Chain A
């Protein structure tokens, strides 16, 4: 554990342009705990604003290759690009193979591109727990554009929708029919649909099904459809234009501001829940938890009453505790 002052010093270094300090701060976020809390506090006074673009879709849809081609396209316009690429951790061993960089080889060693691979570390929504903090670190360090690539998702891992300003949902020709296109979940969060591998058979049908589903949406929510062949770099100019158009429209309409506020609520709830769970685990492992578990096992107390008593004890002890670990007072400068 580095401590509050060390984290603040590292933030100053990173904001001053040190790439290794920036990288170490992302590790600090990943490790969590008190240092990660100190990091959030140290980032608060930092200026800088970045725009974030999420890239999500099924495994093998071409998210990494698309991220690489999009980075090339944005770089051609002179933009510095940061990319957070999330891959799954094993729920069994907690190990991970983070392979997105293999698709990102053209950007190896480029000082204007920052790539960081993140393991999901048990988080289930398609991102890692620390991804949002990592985005804030990049923002503080003056990276204007942050791409966030999720793990390969199914239909309902939608973290990225709350975490980013423009969401790209990547599909492929032959991916499904009209019924799939109208399903809840992934299909609802796209700001832009990208039909990647568009040189494959089935493009027309996929485009038609998507268009039909989009036409049924409220007029306020009509995502664009862009066709790409990321391996060849085709369609990337159109994708860059579609992102710019969505950004402009969302900024002008106030949707962007609304989204960022909703993001704050979501993150706040997640963080508060994590802290509650930690406190709950502590309570359960302590004498009060032992006593309740014993009473339930001996059938002296029903389980629902035990749960309510546990929560009541937790709220009581939390408000009584002063400068303890979970105290928010410690986390503000």
Chain B
């Protein structure tokens, strides 16, 4: 058993759940415990990541890169050791901004095995 825990949050304002749900299921099937919190502000993501003592945070950013950047900065401030990866509609300039913060980005077209592989690597399983 991995017992590794991943927090999944939406920082975007759209109501689409399909993407995060598909990713969550793939991670579940790979043995992860995936904690879904839905739409959340940056400080709420930080608080939940602390209370849930997760090993990795996944953000669905839905195009709102400024909010995602604030969330990543807040996480990096409070829990510098906690890895973050992002998915959703991420334009190229946003991808570069996030990667500059040390975040792995999986835009549309990414393959589930790659995302699962990233989760395993970022949580130290591989």
Contacts and interface: CB of A to CB of B under 8 A. Distances in A.
B39 A95 contact: no
Q: Which of A89, A94, A114, A116 lies at the interface centre, i.e. has the most chain B CB atoms within 10 A of its CB? A: A94
Contact of A94 (B24, B27, B31, B36): B31
A121 interface: yes
Mostly, the B contact residues are mixed
B51 interface: yes
A90 B32 CA distance: 10
B47 A108 contact: yes
Contact of B28 (A24, A97, A116, A121): A97
B53 A97 contact: no
B47 A109 contact: yes
19 contacts: A23-B50, A23-B53, A30-B3, A89-B33, A90-B28, A93-B30, A93-B31, A95-B29, A95-B34, A96-B28, A97-B25, A98-B35, A101-B36, A102-B37, A105-B37, A105-B39, A105-B40, A108-B40, A109-B48
Nearest to B47: A109
Contacts of B33: 89, 95-96, 98, 117, 119
Interface string A75-118: 00000000000000110011111110110010011000011110
A218 to B, nearest CB: 42
Main secondary structure of the interface of A (DSSP, over half): mixed
Given A94-B1, A95-B28, A95-B30, A116 B51 contact: yes
Q: How large is the interface on B (under 10, 10 to 19, 20 to 34, 35 or more residues)?
A: 20 to 34
A27 B3 CA distance: 10
B78 to A, nearest CB: 9
Interface in A166-203: none
B3 A31 contact: yes
A114 B48 CA distance: 9
A93 B51 contact: no
Residue of B24, B41, B53 with most chain A CB atoms under a 10 A cut-off: B53
